[in-house]
Amino acid sequence: MEKEEFKKKYPNLAEEIELGKGKADLQFEVEAPKNNRKFAGYNPTIIDFIRRCNSEEQAIEIIEYMMSRDEITKEYSKELKTKLEVEGLSSFGEMKKPGYYEREG
């Protein structure tokens, strides 16, 4: 139980503990939440975004958008577009559907 929750449920007891008036020798301990998620803190790459596209047109939009924001270079943009044109959308990997990171993580 968190300290604030304890204070709300038992205000008098919490006050006694904090002021040292009570006879009980209790201490609050706070545990850091465990983060067992595989993708916690993961920053998706342009390939991750392309893998969410339904069409080559969407992929081109993503590539151009990322280039316009200087997230990728013009050269890398050309590489990605060439790969898309020659090998197709599936060459970037299996499509990532909504909820991918929750299911996989």
What are the pLDDT digits (tens) for 73-91? 999 999 999 999 999 999 9
If asked whether residues 62 and 95 sit together in one domain, one would say: yes
Distance (Å, whole) CA 25 – CA 37: 36
**Do 59 and 96 belong together in one domain?**
yes
pLDDT at 30: 63
Count of domains in the chain? 2
Answer whether residue 22 shows pLDDT above 70. no
In Å, how far are 19, 46, 91 from 62, measured between CA atoms? Answer: 59, 8, 16
Predicted confidence at residue 77, as pLDDT, reads 96
Tell me which residue range forms the domain holding 5: 1-31
Q: pTM value?
A: 0.58
